[in-house]
Amino acid sequence: MKAIRLFSWNVNGLRACSRKGFMDWVRQVEPDVIGLQEVRALPEQLDDEVRNPKGYTVHIHPAKRRGYSGVALFTQIAPVQVTLGGLGESRFDDEGRLIIADYGDFVLYNGYFPNGGNDLSRVPYKLAFSEAVLQHAESQRRTGRSVVICGDVNTAHQEIDLANPKSNQRNTGFLPEERAWVSRLVDHG
């Protein structure tokens, strides 16, 4: 397979992003594959130009809760299979956090990993989701498949990744257990 130009972008709302020139950027840059996170829209809420751009197939996995999370995949290369969600647990799949695309030579995971919440109440959920993605990807690797994981993991891995690491040590996105998971992901290759 030829080299693929793969982009990953947390758009923080695809409707707003599209009003600010998203499709102009797509036409200019012409990525082969774009994984979007935090789409926050149902497909029917998007302009036709975004839902059906020339040269791309679009897969959108919105959250059941309107205006919340959601991921999308714009692809010029036809995947063998696309799975919206795919972890087999409604608590994960209902939040529109993952698209798994099988491209034959590799499996692409486009994920929008949860935030742990200001009160840290969602940290256990975040870690469970993260671990489920890692284990699913590892099951693909054990069968000899190549795996690409892209998206927004909502965690800064090292101190250099933050402007103020000392003041963030007790905040979600930089907790030791969150950073340890990112280390495990990196260690898996």
Quick one: pLDDT band at residue 189, thresholds 50, 70, 90? Answer: confident
Taking residues 42-50, report their average pLDDT: 96
pLDDT digits (tens, 9 = 90+) for 14-29: 999 999 999 999 999 9
Q: List the one residue out of 50, 58, 85, 51 whose CA is nearest residue 69.
A: 85
Give the CB-side neighbour count of residue 70, counting CA atoms within 13 A: 23
User: Could you give the angle at the alpha carbon of 45 between the alpha carbons of 63 and 58, nearest 5°?
Assistant: 75
Average pLDDT of the chain is 96
The catalytic position among 48, 152, 161, 187 is 152
SS3 category, 138: helix
* The total number of residues written for the chain in this structure: 189
pLDDT digits (tens, 9 = 90+) for 119-136: 999 999 999 999 999 999
Q: Give the span between the Cα atoms of 70 and 8, in whole angstroms.
A: 14
What proportion of the chain, given as a percentage, has pLDDT over 70? 99
CB atoms within 10 A of CB 134: 17
Taking residues 22-40, report their average pLDDT: 97
Q: List the one residue out of 4, 5, 184, 12 whose CA is nearest residue 112.
A: 12
Dmax over CA atoms of the chain, in Å, equals 47
Q: Which residues fall within 8 angstroms of residue 135, CB to CB, at 6 or more apart?
A: none
The letter for the amino acid at 185 is L
Q: Give the span between the Cα atoms of 110 and 59, in whole angstroms.
A: 11
Q: Give the span between the Cα atoms of 28 and 152, in whole angstroms.
A: 24
pLDDT digits (tens, 9 = 90+) for 84-103: 999 999 999 999 999 999 99
pLDDT of residue 167: 94
Catalytic residue at 102? no
Quick one: pLDDT band at residue 2, thresholds 50, 70, 90? Answer: confident
Taking residues 166-176, report their average pLDDT: 95
Under a CB-based contact definition with an 8 Å cutoff, are residues 93 and 71 in contact? no
pLDDT of residue 1: 64
Taking residues 106-114, report their average pLDDT: 98
Taking residues 108-114, report their average pLDDT: 98
For every residue of 21-42, DSSP letters joined together read: THHHHHHHH--SEEEEE---S-
pTM beyond 0.85: yes
Taking residues 104-122, report their average pLDDT: 97
Give the CB-side neighbour count of residue 20, counting CA atoms within 13 A: 7
